[in-house]
């Protein structure tokens, strides 16, 4: 097999560079872009971010967020509470490509199986101990009991969970490389979707009787 000629090689390199550049996040063109307030029912804009608040109206509090100072309620069937710190709650994050959540788990509580389609996640346990795990596209399960001061990383888009295996409450701060990572919680997405996923599709997918699917749907129907 002959080697590419120098002009062809240069063209290939330039094409690869162009593709990589197009796929990368755009570089910021200002110091910051605090998200402007949105009206009721107005959804988040597509990447790279929400419209900017006029710089003349930006104040120090736009870069401050106190939402993680208090624990979220864990008085629910999962024994868990998540306090999001994404751009919708923290406008100063707009276009910066980062966000942070607080996860509170009661003893035996779980942040159930879910995925973040737009971000990897770094879990840092602040109190207690959690079993943190994810499943790769090859079907391999990776997990670790993570204790206070320790961290575990979850690759982008993979299904994962956090489960309190200690005797007391547990707390973690989870950091994302997206201002709005998105979340798909597995069970409600499958069994509580609107409109419903047909019972036959779910029964065939999970290789169970249709009555099992009806039971599961009854747990997640709104």
Phi, psi at 205, each rounded to 5°? -65, -40
Cβ 142 vs Cβ 154: under 8 Å: no
Helix (H, G, I), strand (E, B) or coil at 120: coil
- pTM here is 0.83
Q: What is the pLDDT of residues 122-151, one digit of tens each?
A: 999 999 999 999 999 999 999 999 999 999
The CATH architecture that domain 55-182 belongs to is Sandwich (2.60)
Distance CA 179, CA 99 (A): 5
In this prediction, residue 190 carries a pLDDT of 95
Confidence of residue 160 (pLDDT cuts 50, 70, 90): very high
pLDDT, greater one: 43 or 157: 157
Residue ranges of domains in the chain: 55-182, 192-220
Confidence of residue 159 (pLDDT cuts 50, 70, 90): very high
In terms of Cα–Cα distance, which of 64, 4, 5, 55 is closest to 34? 55
Q: What is the pLDDT of residues 45-74, one digit of tens each?
A: 555 668 888 999 999 999 999 999 999 999
Run of H or E residues at 220:
helix 210-220
Helix (H, G, I), strand (E, B) or coil at 80: strand
- Model confidence at 109: pLDDT above 60: yes
Paired residues of 123 in beta bridges: 152, 174
In this prediction, residue 38 carries a pLDDT of 72
Is 86 exposed, middle or buried, given 0-12, 13-18 or 19+ CB atoms closer than 10 A? buried
In this prediction, residue 122 carries a pLDDT of 98
Distance of CA 205 to the CA centre of its chain: 25
In this prediction, residue 22 carries a pLDDT of 46
Q: What is the pLDDT of residues 170-222, one digit of tens each?
A: 999 999 999 999 999 999 999 999 999 999 999 999 999 999 999 999 998 87
In terms of Cα–Cα distance, which of 37, 39, 84 is closest to 65? 84
CA-atom Rg of the chain in angstroms? 22
Number of C-beta neighbours around residue 145 at 10 A = 15
In this prediction, residue 19 carries a pLDDT of 46
């Amino acid at each position: 097999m002959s080697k590419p000629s120098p002009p062809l090689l240069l063209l290939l390199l330039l094409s690869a560079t162009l593709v990589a550049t197009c796929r990368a996040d755009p570089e910021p063109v200002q110091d910051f872009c605090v998200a402007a307030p949105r009206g009721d029912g107005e959804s988040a804009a597509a990447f790279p971010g929400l419209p900017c608040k006029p710089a003349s109206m930006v104040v120090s509090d736009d870069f401050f967020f106190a939402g993680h100072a208090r624990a979220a309620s864990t008085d629910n069937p999962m024994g868990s509470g998540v306090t999001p710190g994404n751009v919708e709650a923290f406008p100063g994050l707009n276009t910066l490509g980062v966000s942070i959540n607080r996860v509170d788990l009661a003893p035996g509580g779980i942040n159930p199986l879910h995925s973040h389609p737009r971000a990897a996640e770094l879990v840092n346990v602040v109190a207690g101990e959690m079993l943190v795990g994810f499943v790769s596209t090859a079907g391999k399960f990776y997990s670790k009991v993570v204790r206070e001061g320790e961290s575990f990383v979850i690759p982008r888009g993979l299904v994962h969970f956090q489960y309190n295996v200690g005797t007391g409450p547990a707390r973690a701060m989870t950091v994302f490389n997206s201002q709005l990572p998105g979340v798909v919680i597995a069970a409600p997405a499958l069994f509580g979707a609107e409109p419903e996923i047909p019972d036959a599709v779910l029964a065939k997918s999970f290789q169970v009787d249709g009555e099992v699917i009806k039971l599961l749907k009854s747990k997640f129907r709104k």
